[in-house]
Amino acid sequence: MRYVVLGASAAGVNGVRQLRKRCPEAEIVLVSKDQEIYSRCILHHLIGNLRTREQLCFAEADFAKRYRVDWRKGVACTGVDTGKKEAALSDGTALSYDKLLIATGSHTFLPPVKGLREAKGVYGFRDMEETEAIMEAAKDAKHIVIMGGGLTGLDAATGFLHMGRSVELVELADRLLVKQLDERAASVYQKALEAKGVKLHLGCALEEVRCGDDGRVVSLALSDGGQIPCDLLVVTAGVRSNVEFLEGSGLELDSYGLVIDPQGRTNVADVYGAGDVTGRSPIWPAAVKQGMVAADNMAGIETGMEDFFASKSTMNFLDIPTMSLGLPEKPDDTYEEIVEDTGDQYRKVIHKGGTIYGAILQGDLAYGGVLTQLIARKIDVSRVKKPLFSIDYSDFFHTGDNFEFYYEVT
């Protein structure tokens, strides 16, 4: 049995680990464009000089040997022939497979803003190459601007702050982290960034990238009529799944990416997918879990993705910890909110019909464990008899007549 895994990151690496666990004797081939294994979540630590390149690695130092993997580094898959069961590789070889896991992640997409795609001095921020290009360009840059105030935009901003550089940030929404936070929680980060000298342009679109005679960006025109100087623009406001090489393979693709079922199966037998390539839940823990689930099913052990929040984020920008789960705001008044705000600590749970649809914890994240239990055990929060934020772990532990523990909140 030969398993071929495309992509050496959260989904691919964990897929390999799980395949080896389940199939001690199988042949496993890992193919990755990347030359090394690293966490994208901490790329800003490289910019901020908080970690070396080697310290971004999240796998064992002897990963390939330990899991007995034939790892083809720096090689891209350029096409998949699902009829012949072969993957075409950029080194000219055709690699046959019995089962294939596609975990090729995603790439920066430059939005169709006037002048953006042609300008020199514009960089995405998703992989090692882009990060190193940003660091090189930042050496001479005087006006650094970030387009996008989401998680990666704030990663970039704090990376530059650690580098001792000043930065401006342009965000279309009227607040930062609009997918994760409500106005109250976002304002804490806004104030903290402004206190560090970051100039925020919120509720503002980037309308045009203006360049000098050499084609390099010199300024940005904003939708509020303003114009700001810029010689290094980092774009974090666009991402697309890496599925181009799958065109014509017969694999089902949609506007998000590769289509998979809860077992990680695609529409073609023996081909599986996991992680950001599916474009569904582009977060690290989802990619890890999907890689493991797909590997289990490839090995003949039927498992499925449990329900989880498509967006679960934990962040710690400027040492302010925040956890966000699901919806950051009530979609309408049929939903209810339970809020506790002490100034330093903010906690909010959004629920409807007893089910939790979203939560934000900022300051102290200790309640995150209780919250996870409430969600995992599908506890009807509208029937909980004590104030929600007073629940602690002891409320989940009861002893039955047979002295077995069981979980309940009354």
Ligand X SMILES: Cc1cc2nc3c(=O)[nH]c(=O)nc-3n(C[C@H](O)[C@H](O)[C@H](O)COP(=O)(O)OP(=O)(O)OC[C@H]3O[C@@H](n4cnc5c(N)ncnc54)[C@H](O)[C@@H]3O)c2cc1C
In the complex, the residues that contact ligand X under the rule CB under 6 A are 6-12, 31-34, 40-41, 43, 76-77, 103-106, 125-126, 151-152, 155, 242, 245, 275-277, 282-285, 287, 313
Mention every residue, 6+ apart, whose C-beta is less than 8 A from residue 21. none
Nearer to ligand X, 227 or 316 (CB): 316
Phi and psi, residue 225, nearest 5° = 95, -10
**Tokens representing residue 218 in the block:** 């010199």
> For the residues of 2-34, what is the DSSP string, one character each?
EEEEE--SHHHHHHHHHHHHH-TT-EEEEEESS
CB 77 within 8 A of CB 88: yes
Question: Least separation, in Å, of the C-beta of 279 and ligand X?
Answer: 10
Question: Least separation, in Å, of the C-beta of 188 and ligand X?
Answer: 17
CB 383 within 8 A of CB 354: yes
Nearer to ligand X, 11 or 253 (CB): 11
Nearer to ligand X, 104 or 249 (CB): 104
Bridge partner list, 3: 28, 99
- Which helix or strand (DSSP H or E) is residue 228 part of? strand 227-229
**Tokens representing residue 257 in the block:** 């990416």
The sheet that has 144-147: what strands, in order across it?
A: 122-124, 232-235, 144-147, 167-171, 199-202
Residue carrying structure tokens 């360049």: 211
CB 10 within 8 A of CB 287: yes
Rounded to the nearest 10 degrees, the angle between the axes of helix 10-22 and helix 284-298 is: 30
Nearer to ligand X, 63 or 284 (CB): 284
Nearer to ligand X, 30 or 371 (CB): 30
Nearer to ligand X, 123 or 284 (CB): 284
Return d(Cα 247, Cα 54) in angstroms, integer.
Answer: 35
> For the residues of 306-361, what is the DSSP string, one character each?
PP--S-EEEE-GGG--EEEEE-SS-SSTTSEEEEEE-SS-EEEEEEETTEEEEEEE
Nearer to ligand X, 69 or 409 (CB): 69
Nearer to ligand X, 27 or 36 (CB): 36
The sheet that has 217-222: what strands, in order across it?
A: 206-211, 217-222, 227-229
Nearer to ligand X, 3 or 396 (CB): 3
Nearer to ligand X, 275 or 379 (CB): 275
> Do β-strands 217-222 and 206-211 pair in parallel, antiparallel, or remain unpaired?
antiparallel
CB 321 within 8 A of CB 189: no
Nearer to ligand X, 7 or 121 (CB): 7
Question: Least separation, in Å, of the C-beta of 173 and ligand X?
Answer: 18
Question: Least separation, in Å, of the C-beta of 42 and ligand X?
Answer: 8
Question: Least separation, in Å, of the C-beta of 178 and ligand X?
Answer: 16
What is the distance of C-alpha 87 from the center of its chain? 27
Return d(Cα 181, Cα 196) in angstroms, integer.
Answer: 21
CB neighbourhood size of 367 (10 A):
21
